[in-house]
């Protein structure tokens, strides 16, 4: 059976779009799938057409360029938005990409391709603290998504907290959109990056730009501060902000009234599909990242990864990696692709910068002291810290056995919110969860897909078919 | 020096340790991983009598069923069904086996009579009194009130804990992260284990290493053929209200359990859980220790579940997991002292029924360890029944 496409690209952010465009320009038949209604991923998240945003580019660096890439891509490849991919696996000589198409009325669909480029990005890493489950507490990425995607300012009195350079654009974006941002609190040293001045140089202008915007809106940006507790009866009314020592243990506290807290402690690569495929995973400063070679090839033939899946590094690096992956995929399928050493050098330089950034903003262990016995660790299954401690007492010795004994990580988010926390609390090594189902999928859709005719469980001829019986 | 070292902190090891401590022995439980980290943590928690052919396994299942009830009733959280159930969610929910066609129904009813187990034959028209959402057109079923369910990981962890608390904290100790690398011998006799953290001498050693029981036996130079059979389970989103009351499965499950087929076999086993999600099994494949469950297997499980309960079609599967059921060539477990290595007792090879059969296994092992006459004849479970040739 001939595969539908040469290359299927999963993820329509900077890495996926660049990879798909590069591969299609090199002569491959390409399909790009994304779960959202519009391409862009998290970084280039844009309002739907109906919003008629006045200046959508105001919230983004490089949106015009990205939009041009999308237009060029649409002209030479199939772009399938609204497709949630829940499994990729080898099927004979092809790779089968299984997805659910559509929103409320989902339809199952399987697409086959010779190669797959997985560019599924990353998601927020929250850390728990008392009250983090109150309405009004959102992730930093969530606040940014509301702003970029829905043009919604998350609140009127907003506190931004967490660690990493991402806090700056979140605080600046919210302030520019009219929120009263009471402060941006960086748990690490505010000048963390200054320790790497030669690396910082390349991006100093960008950081300075955010700094100026924060200053213009009189938003204080403080280091060694964190929100260690959120208060309110049925929704957030105020937060406790602590001054921290080097290990993030609170030294002193004060409270601030606010209606919204946007909180984020970095990002975790979304690598479910790559783990399904059996790709090797490395420890990237405590987070899982997929191992790739200089051509963004994973160890699994025909499978490529680009962007945050290979280690969190931001949109610019993601685009470069996408282009490299697209070229490698084309070359591997016999297309003539001249070498581009400049691209590779750019990737090396930017990846080194990303590594330095991540080293400059580590999560320090003192946050565990912010928790109380009744603080929820897993929100989906409402598992408090005390239950995790009890499981450890009972003989659980790793994140998986804590999950089995407490249900932490068994709910809707499948441990994406609490996996990091549970691993830290159990002092487990890097948790790499194999998820056979990367996205929830209806049983009816799972049941309906085509199987070989000799399969006795085929719904068409199965003895237990309800249609068959009612006739 | 402990009286007994139990190798394996799964449900069978936990039960052996619990009953040995209750019999007055000092016990150390070792596991190379955490508690319940192997097959125990990858099953459904079945405590079934309904799926057993008459014979030694059914006898074991009936004894075990009674012991599970005792354990649940004597738990610190008090007796009774529901989430508390002994501290491990024991639920005497009953099992409903359904037949798709009249001939299968006839065979099911015959089996129930031969089993001599408490049961009720259910006419097609009455099936929905038991399960309102069952599909149209089934040929009937048999209801087994004794079938039950536990949360197996909690059960293993709590049995070990309860054993320690009830019979003296020194008397039952759990050590996780300890790998057994060999045995200490005195002539043929096993007098302890070698581990990556030093030797532990003991009066007896119990091999409760489940799917890895054959490897542990090999360390003592004896052959116990335990092989992995992969079983996958599909889990739905939490349901807002319970749709499925009992453990419901199709008659095909009974034949699949005893099958010798290499390839994929599956039959619908569907049940709700106290936490809300519906668990959907059961597939059986001999694929070694490969953890990558193909999406086609999940598709087949979903198809079978939807055929049985059409209402499930609209609910979402949010995860799937698999485990490796330890099976022996004759599909019976290995229970008792190994005459080839005196002092070494085996308690492994329970295939997909280890949760259900664990208390009886632990109870019989404790009787053997203390020289008490066992409640059941152990001959069918002899460790040396397989001979020395490779299968």
Report the range of poorest mean pLDDT among A54-58, B260-264, B344-348: A54-58
CA distances from A262 to A59, A157, A174, A247, B79 (A): 17, 11, 10, 22, 46
Tell me if residue B252 falls in helix, strand or coil.
Answer: helix
- Phi, psi at B388, each rounded to 5°: -100, -10
- Would you say residue B45 has pLDDT above 70? yes
B158 and B221 in a single domain? The answer is yes
Q: What is the pLDDT of residues A86-142, one digit of tens each?
A: 999 999 899 999 999 987 778 889 999 999 999 999 999 999 999 999 999 999 999
Looking at residues A238-265, what average pLDDT do you find?
Answer: 96
Mutation site, A84, A303, A381, A404, interface B, largest B CB count within 10 A: A404
Q: Is B307 close to A435, i.e. CB distance below 8 A?
A: no
Relative to beta strand A383-384, strand A376-378 is antiparallel
**What is the pLDDT confidence band of residue B274, given thresholds at 50, 70 and 90?**
confident
Nearest to A394 among B31, B161, B295 (CB): B161
Which residues from chain B sit within 8 angstroms of residue A451, using beta carbons?
296, 299-300
Q: Is residue B308 part of a domain?
A: yes
**What is the pLDDT confidence band of residue A58, given thresholds at 50, 70 and 90?**
low
A38 and A153 in a single domain? The answer is no
Quick one: tokens of B123? 């006419």
Looking at residues B121-149, what average pLDDT do you find?
Answer: 95
- Would you say residue A191 has pLDDT above 80? no
- Would you say residue A219 has pLDDT above 80? yes
- Would you say residue B197 has pLDDT above 60? yes
**Domain final position from A425, A443, A460:** A425
Q: Is B292 close to A457, i.e. CB distance below 8 A?
A: no
Q: Is residue A431 part of a domain?
A: no
A108 and A132 in a single domain? The answer is no
- Would you say residue B79 has pLDDT above 80? no
Q: Are A275 and A438 in contact (CB under 8 A)?
A: no
- Would you say residue B38 has pLDDT above 90? yes
Could you tell me what percent of chain B has a pLDDT over 70? 93
Q: Residue B157 pairs with which residues in a beta bridge?
A: none
A38 and A10 in a single domain? The answer is yes
Interatomic CA distance for residues B94 and B142, integer angstroms: 11
A148 and A238 in a single domain? The answer is yes
Q: What is the pLDDT of residues A416-428, one digit of tens each?
A: 889 999 999 998 7
Q: Is residue B263 part of a domain?
A: yes
Q: What is the dihedral of CA B43, B151, B46, A399, to 10 degrees?
A: 10
B286 and B316 in a single domain? The answer is yes
Tell me if residue A160 falls in helix, strand or coil.
Answer: strand
How far apart are the CA of A56 and the nearest CA of chain B, in angstroms? 35
Q: Is residue B247 part of a domain?
A: yes
Tell me if residue A257 falls in helix, strand or coil.
Answer: strand
Which residues from chain B sit within 8 angstroms of residue A278, using beta carbons?
292
A394: CATH: 1.10.10.1100
- Would you say residue A198 has pLDDT above 60? no
**What is the DSSP annotation of A52-86?**
--S-GGGG-SSHHHHHHHHHHHHHHSEEE-SEEEE
B254 and B277 in a single domain? The answer is yes
Q: Are B200 and B193 in contact (CB under 8 A)?
A: yes
B235: CATH: 3.30.9.10
> Residue A339: what pLDDT?
87
> How far from the centroid of its chain's Cα atoms is residue A419's Cα?
14
**Domain final position from A265, A290, A309:** A265
Which residues from chain B sit within 8 angstroms of residue A469, using beta carbons?
135-138
| Count of domains observed in chain B | 2
- Phi, psi at B322, each rounded to 5°: -140, 160
**Domain final position from A338, A356, A382:** A338
Which residues from chain B sit within 8 angstroms of residue A412, using beta carbons?
237-238, 318
Contacts (Cβ under 8 Å, ≥6 apart) of A180: A156, A157, A158
According to DSSP, residue A297 is labeled B
> Residue A462: what pLDDT?
32
B46: CATH: 3.50.50.60
Nearest to A394 among B157, B280, B298 (CB): B157
Interatomic CA distance for residues A21 and A30, integer angstroms: 8
Structural domain boundaries enclosing B39:
4-52+152-226+330-381
Q: Is residue A151 part of a domain?
A: yes
A131 and A154 in a single domain? The answer is yes
Q: Are A113 and A7 in contact (CB under 8 A)?
A: yes
Q: Is A464 close to B161, i.e. CB distance below 8 A?
A: no
Relative to beta strand A137-139, strand A260-264 is parallel
Interatomic CA distance for residues B222 and B216, integer angstroms: 9
According to DSSP, residue A177 is labeled T
Which residues from chain B sit within 8 angstroms of residue A436, using beta carbons?
232, 293, 295, 298, 319-322
Neighbours of B358 (CB within 10 A): 33
**Nearest of A161, A172, A163, A159 to residue A206 by alpha carbon:** A172
Q: Is residue A314 part of a domain?
A: yes
A259 and A275 in a single domain? The answer is no
A252 and A235 in a single domain? The answer is yes
> Residue B170: what pLDDT?
67
How far apart are the CA of B155 and the nearest CA of chain A, in angstroms? 9
Count of A-B CB contacts under 8 Å: 163
Q: Is residue B45 part of a domain?
A: yes
Per the model's pLDDT, the better-predicted residue between B245 and A56 turns out to be: B245
Q: What is the mean pLDDT of chain A?
A: 87
B131 and B231 in a single domain? The answer is yes
Q: Is residue A446 part of a domain?
A: no
Residue B303 zone, left/alpha/beta (φ > 0; ψ -120 to 50; rest): alpha
> Residue A471: what pLDDT?
25
Interatomic CA distance for residues A249 and A434, integer angstroms: 33
Q: Is residue B370 part of a domain?
A: yes
B319 and B177 in a single domain? The answer is no
Which residues from chain B sit within 8 angstroms of residue A411, using beta carbons?
238
A304 and A219 in a single domain? The answer is no
Looking at residues A238-250, what average pLDDT do you find?
Answer: 96
- Would you say residue A199 has pLDDT above 50? no
Q: Is B314 close to A444, i.e. CB distance below 8 A?
A: yes
B264 and B343 in a single domain? The answer is no
Q: Is B176 close to A441, i.e. CB distance below 8 A?
A: no
- Would you say residue B158 has pLDDT above 90? yes
Which residues from chain A sit within 8 angstroms of residue B44, using beta carbons?
none
Q: What is the pLDDT of residues B200-220, one digit of tens each?
A: 999 999 999 999 999 999 999
Report the range of poorest mean pLDDT among A107-116, A457-466, B161-170, B287-296: A457-466
Nearest to A401 among B37, B160, B306 (CB): B37
Tell me if residue B365 falls in helix, strand or coil.
Answer: helix
Q: Is residue B184 part of a domain?
A: yes
Nearest to A451 among B154, B296, B317 (CB): B296
Quick one: tokens of B241? 């209200």
Neighbours of A470 (CB within 10 A): 9
B101 and B171 in a single domain? The answer is no
Nearest CA in chain A to B293: A436
Checking A62-71 for CB contacts under 8 A at 24+ apart, the result is A62/A315, A66/A14, A66/A17, A66/A40, A69/A17, A69/A18, A69/A21, A70/A17, A70/A39
- Burial class for B53, CB neighbours closer than 10 Å (0-12, 13-18, 19+): middle
Residues B239-254 as b/e (b if ≥16 CB within 10 A, e otherwise) read beeebbebbbbbbbbb
According to DSSP, residue A28 is labeled -
Relative to beta strand B180-186, strand B189-195 is antiparallel
Residues A250-267 as b/e (b if ≥16 CB within 10 A, e otherwise) read beeeeeeebbbbbbbbbb
In what order do the strands lie in the sheet containing A260-264?
A137-139, A260-264, A157-162, A180-186, A221-223
Looking at residues B248-264, what average pLDDT do you find?
Answer: 71
Q: Is residue A346 part of a domain?
A: no
B244 and B345 in a single domain? The answer is no
> Residue A454: what pLDDT?
36
Nearest CA in chain A to B280: A443
Q: Is residue B69 part of a domain?
A: no
Quick one: tokens of B224? 């116990």
Q: What is the pLDDT of residues B299-339, one digit of tens each?
A: 999 999 999 999 999 999 999 999 999 999 999 999 999 99
Q: Is residue B74 part of a domain?
A: no
Nearest CA in chain A to B173: A395
| Count of domains observed in chain A | 3
How far apart are the CA of B339 and the nearest CA of chain A, in angstroms? 33
Looking at residues B172-197, what average pLDDT do you find?
Answer: 96
Quick one: tokens of B330? 């004759």
How far apart are the CA of A355 and the nearest CA of chain B, in angstroms? 31
Neighbours of B134 (CB within 10 A): 22
Q: Is A443 close to B275, i.e. CB distance below 8 A?
A: no
Q: Are A11 and A119 in contact (CB under 8 A)?
A: yes
> Residue B81: what pLDDT?
41
> Residue B76: what pLDDT?
62
Q: Is B160 close to A395, i.e. CB distance below 8 A?
A: yes
- Would you say residue A82 has pLDDT above 90? yes
Output the CA angle A258-A261-A265, nearest 5 degrees.
150
A134 and A237 in a single domain? The answer is yes
**What is the pLDDT confidence band of residue A154, given thresholds at 50, 70 and 90?**
confident
Q: Is B320 close to A436, i.e. CB distance below 8 A?
A: yes
B222 and B270 in a single domain? The answer is no
For the question of an ipTM over 0.95, the answer is no
Q: Are B270 and A443 in contact (CB under 8 A)?
A: no
B305 and B260 in a single domain? The answer is yes
B282 and B339 in a single domain? The answer is no
**What is the pLDDT confidence band of residue B255, given thresholds at 50, 70 and 90?**
low
CA atoms within 13 A on the CB side of A454: 1
Interatomic CA distance for residues B114 and B120, integer angstroms: 13
Q: Are B291 and A277 in contact (CB under 8 A)?
A: no
Q: How far apart are the first and last CA of chain A?
A: 35
Tell me if residue A441 falls in helix, strand or coil.
Answer: strand
Q: Are B108 and B142 in contact (CB under 8 A)?
A: yes
Q: Is B275 close to A410, i.e. CB distance below 8 A?
A: yes
**What is the pLDDT confidence band of residue B256, given thresholds at 50, 70 and 90?**
low
Q: Is A457 close to B304, i.e. CB distance below 8 A?
A: yes
Structural domain boundaries enclosing A290:
5-123+268-338
B289 and B369 in a single domain? The answer is no
How far apart are the CA of B274 and the nearest CA of chain A, in angstroms? 12
A12 and A36 in a single domain? The answer is yes
What is the total residue count of chain A?
471
What is the dihedral sign for C-alpha B269, B274, B278, B283?
Answer: negative
Interatomic CA distance for residues A238 and A253, integer angstroms: 13
**What is the DSSP annotation of A385-420?**
HHHHHHHHHTT--SHHHHHHHH-TT-STTTTTTTHH
Q: Are B348 and B209 in contact (CB under 8 A)?
A: yes
Q: What is the pLDDT of residues A350-397, one digit of tens each?
A: 999 888 888 888 999 999 999 999 999 999 999 999 999 999 999 998
Neighbours of A209 (CB within 10 A): 14
- Would you say residue B235 has pLDDT above 80? yes
Could you tell me what percent of chain A has a pLDDT over 90? 67
A218 and A279 in a single domain? The answer is no
- Would you say residue A293 has pLDDT above 70? yes
Looking at residues A309-321, what average pLDDT do you find?
Answer: 95
How far apart are the CA of A281 and the nearest CA of chain B, in angstroms? 15
Relative to beta strand B27-31, strand B172-176 is parallel
Q: Is residue A132 part of a domain?
A: yes
Which residues from chain B sit within 8 angstroms of residue A455, using beta carbons?
300
Which residues from chain B sit within 8 angstroms of residue A413, using beta carbons?
none
Nearest CA in chain B to A451: B296
A110 and A174 in a single domain? The answer is no
Looking at residues B22-40, what average pLDDT do you find?
Answer: 95
Per the model's pLDDT, the better-predicted residue between B135 and A48 turns out to be: B135
pTM value is 0.89
């Amino acid at each position: 059976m001939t595969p539908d496409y040469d290359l299927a690209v999963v993820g329509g952010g900077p890495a996926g779009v660049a990879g798909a465009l590069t591969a299609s320009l090199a002569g491959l038949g390409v399909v790009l799938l994304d779960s959202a209604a519009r391409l862009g991923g998290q970084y280039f998240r844009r309002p739907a057409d109906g919003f008629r945003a006045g200046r959508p580019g105001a919230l983004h660096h490089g949106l015009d360029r990205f939009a041009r890439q999308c237009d060029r891509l649409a002209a030479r490849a199939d772009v399938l938005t609204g497709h949630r991919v829940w499994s990729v696996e080898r099927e004979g000589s092809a790779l089968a990409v299984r997805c659910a198409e559509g929103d409320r009325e989902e339809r199952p669909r399987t697409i086959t391709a010779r190669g797959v480029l997985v560019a599924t990005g990353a998601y927020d890493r929250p850390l728990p603290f008392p009250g983090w489950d109150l309405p009004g507490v959102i992730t930093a990425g969530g606040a940014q998504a509301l702003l970029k995607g829905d043009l919604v300012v998350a609140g009127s009195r907003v506190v931004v907290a967490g660690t990493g350079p991402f806090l700056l654009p979140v605080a600046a974006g919210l302030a520019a959109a009219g929120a009263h941002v009471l402060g941006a609190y960086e748990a690490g040293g505010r000048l963390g990056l200054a320790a790497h001045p030669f690396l910082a140089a390349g991006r100093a202008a960008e950081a300075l730009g955010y700094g100026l915007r924060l200053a213009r809106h009189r938003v204080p940006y403080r280091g060694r501060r964190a929100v260690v507790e959120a208060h309110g009866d049925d929704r957030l009314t105020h937060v406790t902000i602590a001054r921290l020592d080097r290990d993030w243990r609170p030294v002193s506290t004060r409270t601030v009234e606010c209606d919204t807290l946007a909180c984020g402690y970095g990002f975790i690569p979304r690598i479910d599909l790559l783990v399904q495929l059996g790709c090797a995973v490395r420890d990237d400063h405590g987070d899982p990242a997929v191992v790739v070679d200089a051509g963004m090839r994973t160890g699994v033939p025909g499978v490529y990864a680009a962007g945050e899946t290979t280690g969190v590094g931001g949109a610019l690096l993601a685009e470069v990696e996408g282009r490299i992956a697209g070229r490698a995929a084309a070359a591997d399928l016999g297309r003539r692709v001249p070498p581009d050493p400049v691209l590779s050098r750019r990737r090396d330089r930017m990846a080194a910068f990303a590594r330095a950034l991540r080293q400059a903003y580590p999560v320090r262990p003192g946050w565990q002291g912010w928790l109380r016995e009744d603080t929820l660790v897993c929100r989906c299954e409402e598992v408090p810290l005390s239950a995790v401690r009890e499981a450890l007492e009972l003989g659980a010795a790793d994140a998986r056995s804590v999950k089995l004994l407490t249900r932490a990580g068994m709910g809707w988010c499948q441990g994406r919110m609490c996996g990091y926390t549970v691993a830290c609390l159990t002092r487990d090594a890097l948790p790499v969860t194999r998820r056979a189902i990367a996205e929830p999928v209806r049983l009816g859709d799972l049941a309906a897909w085509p199987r070989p005719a000799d399969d006795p469980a085929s719904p068409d001829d199965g003895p237990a078919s309800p249609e068959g019986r009612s006739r | 020096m402990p009286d007994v070292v139990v190798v394996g902190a799964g449900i069978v090891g936990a039960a052996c340790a619990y009953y040995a401590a209750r019999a007055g022995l000092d016990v150390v439980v070792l596991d190379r991983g955490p508690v319940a980290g192997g097959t125990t943590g990858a099953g459904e928690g079945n405590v079934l009598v309904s799926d057993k052919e008459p014979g030694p396994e059914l006898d074991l299942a009936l004894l075990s069923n009674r012991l599970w009830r005792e354990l649940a009733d004597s738990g610190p959280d008090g007796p009774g069904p529901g989430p508390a159930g002994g501290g491990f969610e024991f639920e005497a929910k009953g099992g409903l086996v359904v037949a798709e066609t009249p001939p299968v129904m006839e065979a099911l009813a015959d089996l129930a009579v031969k089993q001599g187990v408490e049961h009720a034959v259910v006419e097609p028209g009455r099936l929905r009194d038991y399960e309102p959402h069952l599909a149209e057109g089934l040929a009937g079923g048999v209801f087994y009130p004794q079938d039950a369910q536990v949360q197996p990981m909690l059960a293993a962890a709590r049995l070990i804990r309860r054993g320690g608390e009830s019979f003296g904290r020194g008397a039952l100790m759990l050590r996780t992260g300890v790998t057994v690398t060999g045995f200490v011998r005195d002539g043929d006799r096993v007098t302890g284990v070698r581990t990556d953290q030093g030797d532990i001498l003991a009066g007896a050693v119990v091999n409760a290493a489940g799917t890895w029981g054959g490897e542990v036996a090999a360390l003592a130079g004896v052959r116990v053929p335990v092989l992995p059979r992969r079983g996958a389970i599909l889990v739905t989103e939490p349901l807002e209200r319970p749709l499925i009351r009992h453990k419901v499965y199709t008659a095909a499950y009974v034949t699949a359990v005893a099958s010798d087929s290499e390839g994929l076999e599956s039959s619908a086993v569907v049940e709700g859980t106290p936490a809300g999600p519906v668990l959907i099994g059961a597939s059986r494949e001999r694929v070694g220790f490969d953890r990558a469950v193909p999406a086609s297997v999940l598709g087949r499980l979903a198809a079978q579940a939807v055929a049985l309960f059409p209402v499930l079609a609209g609910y979402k599967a949010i995860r799937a997991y698999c485990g490796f059921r330890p099976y022996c060539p004759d599909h019976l477990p290995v229970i008792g002292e190994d005459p080839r290595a005196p002092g070494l007792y085996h308690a492994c090879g329970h295939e997909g029924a280890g949760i259900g059969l664990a208390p009886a296994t632990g109870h019989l092992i404790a009787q053997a360890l203390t020289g008490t006459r066992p409640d059941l004849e152990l001959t069918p479970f002899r460790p040396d029944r397989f001979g020395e040739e490779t299968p």
